[in-house]
Amino acid sequence: MRENAINGYDVIIVGGGPAGLCAAMYAGRGMLKAVTIERGAPGGELLNTDLIEDYIGFESIKGWDLAVKMSEHAKKFGAEIVTDTVERIRKVDDGWFDVVTSRGALYRAPAVILTAGGTPVKLGVPGEQDYAAKGVSYCAVCDGAFFKGEVLAVVGGGDAAVEEADYLTRYASKVYIVHRRDQLRASKILQQRVFANPKIEMIWNKRVVEIKGTGQAVDHLLLADAITGDPVRLRVGGVFIFIGFKPNTGVIEGHVKHDAAGYLITDEKMMTSIPGLFAAGDVRSQVTRQITTAVGDATTAAIAVEKYLAALREKEKAAVGS
Ligand SMILES: Cc1cc2nc3c(=O)[nH]c(=O)nc-3n(C[C@H](O)[C@H](O)[C@H](O)COP(=O)(O)OP(=O)(O)OC[C@H]3O[C@@H](n4cnc5c(N)ncnc54)[C@H](O)[C@@H]3O)c2cc1C
């Protein structure tokens, strides 16, 4: 299969969210030949976000609009964006990376920047899978409008849960936030916003045990008290689950250093424990996961790739000369 490989790239960027698009722009400006492989529309999580109010320079911008702006900006500097899903990234004996896609393409390059973000963590309770897209959702912006006038539940206690609960009150008549602890993890400003929202009611110290419905739609949740275990029945027309993200690192073959939650550990140049494999954005182990941090990582990674490749060429030249 190697003879059919698509060669000629300096770097392969996996994922076309904010980090991937920013890396593509910097790679283009650095005169690197780069390809960005994205399984969906470019923009990543921006496409699931309604309004962004904390990306400096834009007091308020729709996620979709920012995605288009980032994509156009990257293309202006020569970004080549291919629609395909990466299935495997493997460093082979010659020191180059094989990047295999679901369409059967094999891309080869001496460096890869992984910017594949994360996937929502599932509750793993009965009914969750049965009612997926029938009342169980992981994206308020995508599905909120389908629940006009309904009573909804949001599960979780972090920034995403609280922000999305607030967003859902545009459509829902009431939103319960079901949290298994007695306080939220979300930032204080977001907490203040939900506590001030008359349509939001907190349900503290409760775990979701089962999602029940009519067969066609969610009808209620079975909850258990986190302390006593006592059961509680909560009537809702839909449930939005925001209990975290799992980094999309399963495509990497071989061992790579990661933290306890599976996020990739990098050095200050964004290089992982596999030389030549860089990581940027939500897939990387760090304190905060925001658009600003994703593009910051990507800037560093793209510039570090330039230096990595230059050093590699020097090494090759020295080896030929000796
Ligand atoms: C609901 C919600 C609201 C948010 N609101 C804000 C906000 O207001 N402000 C803020 O700063 N941040 C916000 N964030 C966080 C922000 O969106 C992320 O931190 C940012 O998008 C991370 O960028 P990324 O490029 O690392 O990852 P992502 O945006 O997740 O992009 C990863 C891309 O990789 C692609 N991909 C994954 N696997 C593969 C594969 N195998 N092959 C090909 N492509 C692949 C995905 O399709 C995706 O497009 C929000 C997040 C969510 C979920």
Atom 30, ligand 1: residue with shortest CA distance: 117
pLDDT of residue 145: 87
Dmax (CA) of the chain? 76
What's the 198 CA to ligand 1 centre distance in angstroms?
A: 30
Give, in order, the Cα–Cα distances in Å from 81 to each of 22, 55, 84, 106, 130: 12, 24, 9, 15, 35
**CA of 99 relative to ligand 1 center, distance in Å:** 21
Residue 47: pLDDT above 70? yes
Quick check: CB of 40 below 6 Å from ligand 1?
yes
233 alpha carbon – ligand 1 mean position (Å): 34
- Which residue out of 143, 159, 282, 297 is catalytically annotated? 143
Supply 88's token pair: 């495997």
Stretch 16-21: mean pLDDT = 98
The string of pLDDT tens digits covering residues 266-290 is: 999 999 999 999 999 999 999 888 8
Alpha-carbon span 144 to 216, nearest angstrom: 17
22 catalytic? Reply is no
Does ligand 1 lie within 6 Å of residue 28's CB atom? no
Check whether 133 has a pLDDT greater than 70: yes
Instruction: Tell me, using a 6 A CB cutoff, whether residue 11 lines ligand 1.
Output: no
56 Cβ neighbours under 8 A, 6+ residues apart = 292
**Reported confidence tier of residue 49, pLDDT bands at 50, 70, 90:** confident
For 11, phi and psi rounded to 5 degrees? -150, 145
pLDDT given for residue 1 in this prediction: 54
130 burial level (CB within 10 Å; 0-12, 13-18, 19+): middle
**pLDDT > 80? residue 50:** no
- 194, two tokens: 């939900």
98 is catalytic: no
Query: Using a 6 Å cutoff on CB, does residue 251 contact ligand 1?
Result: yes
Rounded mean pLDDT, 207-217:
97
Round the average pLDDT of the chain to a whole number and report it: 94
Q: Which residues contact 94 (CB under 8 A, 6 or more apart)?
A: none
Over pLDDT 90: what percentage of the chain?
Answer: 84
Query: Going from the N-terminus, what domains does the chain have, and what CATH number goes with each?
Result: 2-120+245-321 (3.50.50.60), 136-241 (3.50.50.60)
pLDDT at 51: 79
